[in-house]
Amino acid sequence: MRRRLLPSLTALRTFEAVARCMSFTEAAGELNVTQSAASRQVRILEEYVGGSLFVRTRGRLELTDEGRIYAAELKDALDRMEFATLQAMAYERGGGVLRVGVLPTFGTRWLIPRLSRFSKAHPKITLNLNAGDGAVDFGMQGIDVAIRFGSGQWPDAVSYRLGLSEEMVVVCSPDLRAGDRALTSPEELRHFVLLQHTTRPQAWSQWLAEARIDDADPAVGPSFEHFFMLIQAAVAGLGVALLPRFLIADELRTGALVAPLAQTTVYEGGYYLICPAARKELTKIRAFRDWLLEESAVTTPLDAA
């Protein structure tokens, strides 16, 4: 059996702390040891690897090139060791903390109003939500799973498609609809400002093509980065928006937004739960995945459940 070539964990933890704090004094305080003890552990590690990891320049502590690379790799390794330990501690208890990276509007409009159901079914699992809509990096973002919109392809991850589609509905404020020019047919859209969503750049083109309207410019109009901004812009009467029906159920019910046209379109893509392939069978991830898939397949209104 091959013996692993590893220095002591104490020396590794000390070096990582000093490299992160760039101070023996601060690292020693964090580790609850003396400064000389921290310095001794770093010297032991340097002897083990056979090279200097730090240099002092004009009284300042700096990492060598080797030390900088080693520190980055070591931090990642220690983070993974900590994560694995926490998972092992929580496994038998069926609980733990699950960190979820979620799209901002999806989180506030759809997920959060339903989380009491998850908490009731899994009281030992605590969910921490982080808003984000860009690329997924589980380590850098400090998350266990993510909810994103896309095609289902993410590197080094498995994805599960939720039972939600983006049926895009043309909506506007009641005042805008009742203005000088009534919006009663697709042909009238050429007289209105078309509000844009930066991550759905083809939505208006798709809707207009399916409605066979060719005299309205699908790309002209103010754009918004998030759906919640686009929703507020439409409510404020800034123009006509194309929005997923399930995200604006409240506005349609209260009359803050109206849907003057029957024509809808389903935007290509879907909502997915994404997690690292190596962690997909963790108890807390499986529990959240199964609940989310079941919840997203339910078609009854939230308040009817």
- What are the boundaries of each domain within the chain? 9-88, 96-163+269-304, 167-266
96-163+269-304 and 167-266 agree in CATH topology: yes
Looking at residue 215, its pLDDT comes to 86
pLDDT in tens, the chain (305 residues): 567 788 899 999 999 999 999 999 999 999 999 999 999 999 999 999 999 999 988 778 999 999 999 999 998 888 878 777 766 666 555 578 899 999 999 999 999 999 999 999 999 999 999 998 888 888 888 899 999 999 888 888 999 999 999 999 999 999 998 877 888 899 999 999 999 999 999 999 999 999 999 888 898 899 999 999 999 999 999 999 999 999 999 999 999 999 999 999 999 899 999 999 888 888 899 999 999 999 998 644 444 33
Please give the Cα distance from 9 to 64 (Å, whole number).
Answer: 21
- The residues, any chain, with a CB within 8 Å of residue 110's CB and separated by 6 or more, are 164, 246, 247
- Residue 183 parent element (H or E): none
| Residue 300: per-residue pLDDT | 44
Q: Which residues of 259-270 are buried (b: 16+ CB within 10 A; e: fewer)?
A: bbbebbbebebb
User: Tokens 């509007």, residue?
Assistant: 105
Q: Kindly report the CATH class assigned to 96-163+269-304.
A: alpha beta
- pLDDT of 304: 35
Q: Yes or no: say if 176 and 266 are a contact pair by the CB < 8 Å rule.
A: no
- What confidence score (pLDDT) does residue 142 get? 86
What per-residue confidence (pLDDT) applies to 288?
96
Residues 6+ apart with CB under 8 A from 120: none
- pTM exceeds cut of 0.75: no
The answer to whether residues 220 and 194 touch, using CB atoms and an 8 Å cutoff, is yes
pLDDT the model gives residue 159: 94
Question: What angle is formed at CA 190 by the lines to CA 213 and CA 228, rounded to 5 degrees?
Answer: 100
Question: Per residue in 207-242, is it b (16+ CB within 10 Å) or e — as a string?
Answer: bbeebebeebebeebeebebbbbbbebbbeebbbbb
**Which secondary-structure segment (H or E) carries 281?**
none
Specify the DSSP class assigned to residue 234. Answer: H
What is the architecture of the domain spanning 9-88? Orthogonal Bundle (1.10)
Measured distance CA(54)–CA(51) in Å, rounded? 9
Within 10 angstroms of residue 154's Cβ, the number of other Cβ atoms is: 17
- Contact of 170 with 203, CB cutoff 8 Å: no
Query: Selecting from 3.40.190.10, 3.40.50.2300, 3.60.15.10, 3.40.50.720, what CATH number does the domain 167-266 have?
Result: 3.40.190.10
Are the beta carbons of 294 and 213 closer than 8 angstroms? no
Contact 274, 147 (CB under 8 A): yes
**What pLDDT shows up at residue 90?**
60
